[in-house]
Structure 1
Amino acid sequence: MAKAAPVTASTVLELTEALPLDCGQSLAGVRIAYETYGSLNAAGDNAVLICHATTGDQYLASTHPITGKPGWWDRMVGPGKGIDTDRFYVICPNVLGSCMGTSGPSSPAPDGQPWAMRFPVITIRDMVRAHLALLDALGVGQLHAVVGGSMGGMQALSLAANWPDRARRVLAIAATGEMPAQNIAFQEVGRQAVMADPNWQGGAYYNTGKAPDAGLSVARMAAHITYLSQATLSEKFGRRLQDREAKSFGFDADFQVESYLRYQGESFTGRFDANSYLYITRAMSYFDLAEECGGLLADAFTDCKARFCLVSFDTDWLYPTIESRNLAHALNAAGAPVSFVELAAPFGHDSFLLEVPELDRVIAGFLDQ
């Protein structure tokens, strides 16, 4: 489909053919930003595709250029780590619709102006189509594994269901086969917060000197609460006051947890585009593998030859264990080999990004099988 540039950190591939989308449109000139770690072996069979979560990016195991922080899975990916780059060729692309180099609403449209809300509405399956175009350009046929947590897990499942010969192993962590109604509701609150900000300007805020930072900050605050557990919030903050001896009897950030959320929201606006947030969360809301396959989740995997591993966390209330159990039942009904484990972790949904040593062992063991 296209020829990749030399493989370096944050290489950008431009597709030479239009990318077909589920909405019925095709998107020309798609650019895909990605990072790679390790080397593709002579047999071409050691590639591991890692798909990032909602507001993640391609900076998997290297310093983020905006925040200066280590990669979001630096503890997991590297020489001798759970995903060992001495053995595996690891590829992490920025998803379609995002704002870290891959085509999205902030990218130039054919008229040279940012797409803004003219960018077509995308789906998780569209994101995976872009990933596969990248793999083709890199000379990767069948993956050793596709791995993802949260929205990354949805991408992994979509790849397995729609392109059943492209991966030998599928590892979905804290994921789901369909977006539950409660999560759609949370995402709608975030989108409405962005669109209610006067600086959103119907999405055409680029080059105006104003952006809907207040709305995006509130959206991030609301979403961040869902990523954590009550135990984490209680232990980390409790009802402790922030830099004061008594309540202010006003509406400043009296409590430490309030200050923390405000910080999370404000820092998020420095690295993420508000329109990308709208498009990516909409893609997640639309995600429903059973609907794509006529109503039965098991039918999504009838042609799949891959081995599956599903991981959930006992404190994750955003994608609780029942979502992974439903996936396991569907895979069993389809005759697909699947292992499933619920891990104990205090951190809630974000556990897959934090220090959970048992998760490291599960991932390393599954990739070795």
Structure 2
Amino acid sequence: MTRQSASRTEPLGPGVGRVETRLATVADPDHPLQLVSGDHLDHVEVAYETYGSLSPERDNAVYICHALTGDAHAAGIHDGETKPGWWDNIIGPGRAIDTDQWFVVSSNLLGGCSGTTGPTSMNPATGQVWGTAFPQIDMHDFVEVHLRLAAHLGIEKFHAVVGGSMGGMQALDWSLTHPDTLDNAVIVAASSRLTAQNIAFSAVGREAIVRDRDFDDGHYLDADRRPDTGLSIARMLAHITYLSEDAFAEKFGRTHQFGEPRRGFGVDFAVESYLDHQGETFLTRFDPLSYIYLTRVMDYFDPFGTTGATDLVVADPVNYLVVCFDTDWRFSPAHSRRIVRHLEGAGLPVSFFTIASSWGHDSFLMKLDPYHDLVRAFLEVPAGRRTGRASRRAPHHDGHICTREVDR
């Protein structure tokens, strides 16, 4: 099978240009955020960005839910920087999520470390950093904060909620629990229930952090130090799961970083240098406690595990696009098929595609034309036009094969 080439750096058009991250207060003592755990937060700030213009009817909004280590900066460029947002290749004028048509909202998750309230924020009750006293959080809590931000922006209903990986989990949870607030859900390279292997990878990453002597039971912020060794190892481990074996072979093979083998225990192979770089650069943009909290949320996510899980969305249907990638072994196509089975079993309209890509789980971040074309086309179909479903296997215009569930 011919593989689709991919790039993070080949978007269409000039992009959304200069952008800034804003803050919104969505919980205060008079309107606390009640959490699934039973705890509550009296103060929650959310970092967010918007792109495009909200229509007078306020009916063209699209919400972007980010993955584990993402943030609010999904597109455009911040002043003084040259690197665009993490999903810039899909968001912008003329791109799959076209900001000439859609008003796009992107926010940082509750528990994150890029402006939204989390374990590194100040606990207003104590005047100290939350640390491990920050309450346990749940996927429902993420969605509740998203909805409060929507209310702050004056948006009652979204044309679509879009997310990849853990962002897709949020989109799924949102659609099941608050279907009256969106028409469409785009779920990419996601899971509705992690396997034991998935949980194991995250467990090792968390252990690398907490066993670092500088973790200090989560009090490292008080001591002005961080468990950087543990965090970098966690990132290196996770990054191995984000790429397929084909991608590693294509990018690195058995190439030696310095031309000739050094026969030592330090960095010698190019892939080792790459992972070392990934671990080091991660330290500049992520916090160990956020990593621990957010990975744990994924472990417990099981939206179809309760009786009546689809009752609300059956009563107020949402249209679904579910996309996966054939070489993704972190959240393999079986994860997406499970989502589709549950949704179809409830009689909901679902379009399902498996895209050929050599890049594994990271494919959802890449500019793959068949993938982006699917998202564009799905968003442009007016609400209410998707009725009935049919399965077939067909080549795309570029000859790449995907399995797809199409509406007639």
Which TM class, normalised by the smaller chain length? over 0.9
1:10 to 17, 21, 26: 21
- 1:104 and 1:119 in contact (8 A); partners too: yes
Q: How do residues 324-343 of structure 1 correspond to structure 2 at under 5 angstroms?
A: 324-343=336-355
Gaps in structure 2 of 5+ consecutive residues = 1-18, 382-408
Question: Which residue in 1 is equivalent to 2:228?
Answer: 213
Q: Alignment partner of 2:180: what SS?
A: coil
Question: Which residue in 1 is equivalent to 2:111?
Answer: 97
CA distance in 2, matches of 1:82, 1:345: 18
1:234-260 per-residue CA deviation (whole Å, 9 max, x = no partner) reads: 111111111141233x21011110111
The answer as to 2:342 corresponding to 1:321 is: no
1:8-32 per-residue CA deviation (whole Å, 9 max, x = no partner) reads: 7311011232111110111111010
Q: How do residues 127-276 of structure 1 correspond to structure 2 at under 5 angstroms?
A: 127-248=142-263, 250-276=264-290
CA distance in 1, matches of 2:312, 2:325: 24
TM, length-normalised to structure 2 = 0.85
- 2:165 and 2:190 in contact (8 A); partners too: yes
Question: Which residue in 2 is equivalent to 1:351?
Answer: 363
1:10-68 per-residue CA deviation (whole Å, 9 max, x = no partner) reads: 11011232111110111111010000001111111100000000000011002368985
CA distance in 2, matches of 1:323, 1:91: 27
Q: Alignment partner of 1:144: what SS?
A: strand
Letter in 2 for 1:367: L
State the superposition RMSD in angstroms: 1.5
- 1:199 and 1:211 in contact (8 A); partners too: yes
CA distance in 2, matches of 1:300, 1:214: 45
The answer as to 2:292 corresponding to 1:281 is: no
Which range moved further: 91-100 or 235-244?
Answer: 235-244
Letter in 2 for 1:93: S
Question: Which residue in 2 is equivalent to 1:4?
Answer: none
1:22 to 21, 36, 55: 36
Q: Alignment partner of 2:249: what SS?
A: helix
1:117-168 per-residue CA deviation (whole Å, 9 max, x = no partner) reads: 0000101111111000000111101100000000000000000011111110
Q: Alignment partner of 1:267: what SS?
A: helix
Q: 1:300 to 1:65 in 2, by over 3 A?
A: farther
Identify the structure with the greater strand proportion: 2
Which range moved further: 323-332 or 115-124?
Answer: 323-332
Q: Alignment partner of 2:247: what SS?
A: helix
CA distance in 2, matches of 1:325, 1:116: 38
> Would you say how many aligned residue pairs link Structure 1 and Structure 2?
359
